[in-house]
Structure 1
Amino acid sequence: MAPDPEAAGNRDVVPAPRYFTWDEVAERSGREKERWLVIDRKVYNITEFVRRHPGGSRVISHYAGQDATDAFMAFHLNKNLVRKYMNSLLIGELSPEQPSSEPTKNEELIKDFRELYTTVERAGFMKPKHIFFFLYLLHILLMDVAAWLTLYWFGTSWVPFLICAVLLSAVQAQAGWLQHDFGHLSVFSTTSWNHLLHHFVIGHLKGAPASWWNHMHFQHHAKPNCYRKDPDINMHPLLFALGKILSVELGKEKKKYMPYNHQHKYFFLIGPPALMPLYFQWYIFYFVVQRKKWVDLAWMSTFYIRIILTYMPLLGLKGFLALFFTFRFLESNWFVWVTQMNHIPMHIDHDRNQDWVTTQLQATCNVHQSFFNDWFSGHLNFQIEHHLFPMMPRHNYHKVAPLVQSLCAKHGVEYKSKSLLSAFADIVYSLKESGQLWLDAYLDH
């Protein structure tokens, strides 16, 4: 039978792309229906893929029905490789008459930010200095050794005991900032090396699971200070009434899980001193067992085996437990004040599907640069730059900061920076203010 020339020609015809509107994409955002998102005007169906997403199902689901272009750029190291895997999810693209960003967003700001991102890459600000991170790791290891030598040489009386505890708390805090670098893939050009060192620092040096950090932290970056999408504000409303909008909502709904008008006082009791020793210490084990993260559990075990074998012979069981919970208590205070000074005083709300730049700037503020502030906070005093460019090596934040300030000035977006003590004080002031707003709304409705 002779081949049909018309049929043969049809095999070479490329099917016409399907076109969608922003309204059609926005309709696919709920859990009970299909989930779509847009990247560079291309529309992807992520309904089934969310369960296989390497970064976790929640972080990608937070952008269902929305434009995820800038989030995609921010979170993926090898973007071209990822795009190849995304081809199987591609279902069409935006209609030519549709704007590149959702109509409710500031398209000029988005355009200028994407141009800034290109400028930053060309300037080499996304390239790490490996010697910086090597020396940073070395100073952590030296403090770790110095802590043990303090007890070994000077005995276990209260003075060397306290010095040892302070050194170990510094080790834990600084290792926390360093694992943050590896977790964000900002140290090596390949994900495998970043993942390996991430496991070493957070698992062996801190005794925590890398998968737990990834699960929590990337959601925070995707939608910072967005209620029900940012795990870092999940303490609202069980413990604290956060932000002006959410606090008033709680009051109007007559909800009173805690005496929120006193939260700026009980924050000092159940906030900074308690997070690590009373909550994280048991929850991380629950997380790895419940999710069967056995590789993480193995790395964590090396931390506890090492610290028990090195300190229990010097201190005995009771002394070891006292030391362990003392440095966890100090680390907890350090961690909470630093991580919350950039976010708790800022805008907290439901997800309003704003553009990437506005979302990050409303939820973050900076603390002035100094050698101490950089070291004490692991360069997270540059929280704005870190949130806009989460894969940028931290030693380059100060270089890009003037460019970000210029972008903000051009578009009338506030760029906040304050002193370290003011940032700490603003945590308490904001808790007091939101607590009073809750009380006023509670009594008036």
Structure 2
Amino acid sequence: MPPQSDTTLRNPECSPEVPPQLFTWEEIGLRSGRRNSKKEGWLVINRKVYNISQFYLKHPGGSRILSHYAGQDATDAFAAFHKDDDLVKKYLSPLYIGELKPDQPSCEPPKNEMLVNDFRELYSTVKKMGLLKPSYPFFTFMFLHAFLFDVASWFTIWYFGKSWLPFLIGVAMFTIGQIQYGFLQHDLGHISVFQEPKRNRWFHLFLMGIFKGGPASLWNHLHNQHHAKPNCFRKDPDLNMHPLLFSLGKTLSVELGKKKKKYMPYQYQHTYFALLAPLTFLIYIQLAIFYLSVQRKKWMEFTFILTYNLRVCLMYVPLMGFKSFMAYFCLARFLESTWFIWISQMNHIPMNIDYDKNLDWVSAQLAATCNVDHSLFNDWYTGHLNFQIEHHLFPTMPRHNCKKVAPMVKSLCAKHGIKYQCKPLLTAFVDILRSLKTSGEHWLEAYRLG
């Protein structure tokens, strides 16, 4: 029996005497798939079916993240991204249209229900242990130490002048300050610095704009998609450089080669990655910052970005002149971009890259992420992104708690035969190049065979 029109669907919370409309996974998939001319989107959370066709445009975490789960079970993703249950229930209630039929599995095949249930039990345990609660002294220290590097970069030029040695020391300090601000804005964007989501968003907007010169909304729009569907082509924005600059993963590389597409000499991509990846990212970000802020009419963000650029100019131009300042600023930005690219990609490029296979939350995150060894330096240098597995499984968890949950995640993986990868920092960097070289070879072979 086909599903009823939306006008006939009732919300049992409003009319308890009316039984909910029941659906199968096949019906949900048909209403959310490409064959659906009405472009509706349904998803499932805790066996309840919600119509997100209109709401996804208003979603605070970005419009595309919801549509990526259309026709799928989003229970674990929903729990992972939201901390305030009472708040999100207010938004969910009007979207409710029915439930799964009793004979339907909670997770559509081929998901591993035992793994899903065990992870949900682990999530409940983590929550009860208070590991989702932040340490305010920790984040205060992280901000202050970044701020001190920021100030020290200016003081170096002010006190020692702009000769080559203080110039380079100042650039290094400016770069460190900016990257550490970046890690902190990442924490704010993931709602992990404060308990209240609204406070995180306001501080994220302020820190990203005044101290980084970037738009918080763009970060939310792109990065939340990455966490929802990591390493999934056409759903993870971090793969946008494929295929224009890089050929990533065996599946996509072979597909690209068979289609005889050659935008770059991909067989050499491992040699040009170190220069081209950070340079492209830097140029893209600088162009996108102003364009998207104006296009989306984010006037507060635009004002903050202008304030940042004016602040930096007023701090440095009187000390070193405009040309020297531009060299100072551009070099620092390039170094920051290089730092960020290697840290962010060491956990993902060597892992599986493919189209969305609709895996369960744990399997999807473990297939796309790996860890780097824990040490005080590695934790600081990577902004605790060396715990990428735990960060992806629990994106709202404050980073200082990731090491505490890591043993529990390892046990879960061991129980269900899932590979939990952890490697030294330098090995992780080398694996980026190895993976790019292998993908380039797959592309070349497929390209020659046609």
Under a length normalisation based on structure 2, what TM-score does the superposition of the two structures give? 0.95
Deviation at 1:364, TM superposition (A): 0.3
Indicate the residue corresponding to 1:407 in structure 2: 412
1:416 is aligned to 2:421: yes
The aligned runs of 1:299-378 (5 Å cut-off) are 299-378=304-383
1:90 to partner: Cα distance:
0.7
- Other-structure match for 2:26: 23
**Deviates most, 251-260 or 403-412:** 251-260
1:196-233 CA-to-partner distances (Å, cap 9, x unmatched) read 21122211111000001001000000000000000001
Contact 1:221 1:387 in 2 (8 A): yes
Q: Look up the SS of the partner of 1:91 in the other structure.
A: strand
Q: Which residue of 1 aligns with 2:51?
A: 45
Partner deviation per Cα, 1:3-43 (whole Å, 9 max, x = no partner): xxxxxxxx987111111011111112236432100000000
Q: Which amino acid aligns with 1:270?
A: L
The percent identity for this pair of structures is: 60
C-alpha distance in structure 1 between counterparts of 2:206 and 2:423, whole Å: 34
Partner of 1:415, secondary structure, is: coil
Counterpart selection for 1:126 from 128, 132, 135: 132
Following the alignment from structure 2 to structure 1, what is the Cα–Cα distance between the partners of residues 277 and 58?
A: 35
2:76 is the alignment partner of 1:73:
no
Distance in 2 between residues matched to 1:191 and 1:179, nearest whole Å: 14
Q: Distance in 2 between matches of 1:416 and 1:124?
A: 26
Match of 2:10 in 1: none
- Provide the residue aligned with 1:219 in structure 2: 225
Give the gaps of 5 or more residues in structure 1. Answer: 1-10
- After superposition, the Cα gap between the structure-2 partners of 1:332 and 1:23, relative to the gap in structure 1 and judged at 3 Å, is same
Q: Distance in 1 between matches of 2:62 and 2:147?
A: 31
Q: Residue deviations 1:248-272, cap 9 Å, x none?
A: 1111222111111111112122113
Residue matched to 2:301: 296
- Contact (CA 8 Å) 2:247, 2:439: kept in 1 or not? yes
Equivalent residue for 1:163?
169
**Aligned partners of 1:81 and 1:178: how far apart in 2?**
25
State the match for 1:7 in structure 2. none
The one-letter amino acid paired with 1:294 is W
Q: Distance in 2 between matches of 1:137 and 1:237?
A: 37
Q: Distance in 2 between matches of 1:371 and 1:53?
A: 37
1:274–1:332 Cα contact (<8 Å) kept: no
For residues 322-377 of structure 1, what are the alpha-carbon distances to aligned partners after superposition, in whole Å with 9 as ceiling and x for unaligned? Answer: 11101001101101000000001100000010100010000000000011100000
- What SS does structure 1 have at the residue aligned with 2:50? strand
Alignment pair present for 1:61 and 2:67 = yes
What residue identity is the alignment partner of 2:319? L
Partner of 1:280: 285
Partner amino acid for 2:189?
A: G
Which 10-residue stretch deviates more, 25-34 or 243-252?
25-34
Does the CA-based 8 Å contact 1:274-1:329 persist in structure 2? no
CA contact (8 A) 2:366 2:389 kept: yes
Task: Give the Å deviation of 1:274.
Answer: 4.2
In the alignment of these two chains, the number of paired residues is: 434
- C-alpha distance in 1, partners of 2:87/2:318? 51
Counterpart residue number, 2:184: 178
Partners of 2:71 and 2:281 lie apart in 1 by 34
User: Residues of 2 paired with 1:82 and 1:134: CA distance?
Assistant: 28
Aligned residue for 1:330, secondary structure, equals: helix
The separation in 1 between residues aligned to 2:392 and 2:160, in whole angstroms, is: 44
C-alpha contact 1:273 1:330 (8 A) present in aligned 2: no
Whole-angstrom CA distance in 2 between matches of 1:259 and 1:431 = 12
Give me the whole-angstrom Cα distance separating, in 1, the residues matched to 2:18 and 2:308.
56
* Alpha-carbon distance in 1 for matches of 2:309, 2:46: 46
Give the AA of the match of 2:125.
T
Out of 380, 384, 394, the residue aligned to residue 399 of structure 2 is 394
Task: Tell me how far apart the structure 1 counterparts of residues 16 and 426 of structure 2 sit (CA, whole Å).
Answer: 66
Quote the Cα distance in structure 2 between the aligned partners of 1:46 and 1:192.
22
Q: Which residue of 2 aligns with 1:234?
A: 240
> Are the equivalent residues in 2 in contact too, given 1:25–1:37 (CA < 8 A)?
yes
Q: CA deviation at 1:391?
A: 0.1
Contact 2:150 2:178 in 1 (8 A): no
User: Is 1:88 aligned to residue 94 of structure 2?
Assistant: yes
1:190 and 2:196 are equivalent in the alignment:
yes
State whether structure 2 residue 202 is matched by structure 1 residue 210. no
Pick the aligned partner of 2:103 from 81, 86, 97.
97
Aligned partner of residue 166 in structure 1, secondary structure: helix
Supply the distance in 2 between the matched residues of 1:343 and 1:288 (Cα, whole angstroms): 28
Q: In structure 2, the residue corresponding to 1:43 is in which secondary structure?
A: strand
Amino acid at match of 2:257: G
Residues 320, 13 of structure 1: CA spacing in aligned structure 2 closer, same or farther, 3 A cutoff? closer
Whether 1:251 aligns to 2:257 is yes
Decide whether the 8 Å contact of 2:111 with 2:360 is kept in 1.
yes
Give the Cα–Cα distance (whole angstroms) in 1 for the partners of residues 218 and 16 of structure 2: 48
Over aligned residue pairs, what C-alpha RMSD do you find? 1.3
Which letter maps to 1:112? Answer: D
Contact map agreement 2:188 2:200 (CA 8 A) in 1: yes
Instruction: Tell me the TM-score normalized by structure 1.
Output: 0.96
* 1:199 aligns to 2:231 (yes or no): no
SS in 2 for 1:381: helix
CA distance in 1 between counterparts of 2:289 and 2:204 reads: 16
Aligned equivalents of 1:341, 1:191: Cα separation in 2: 29
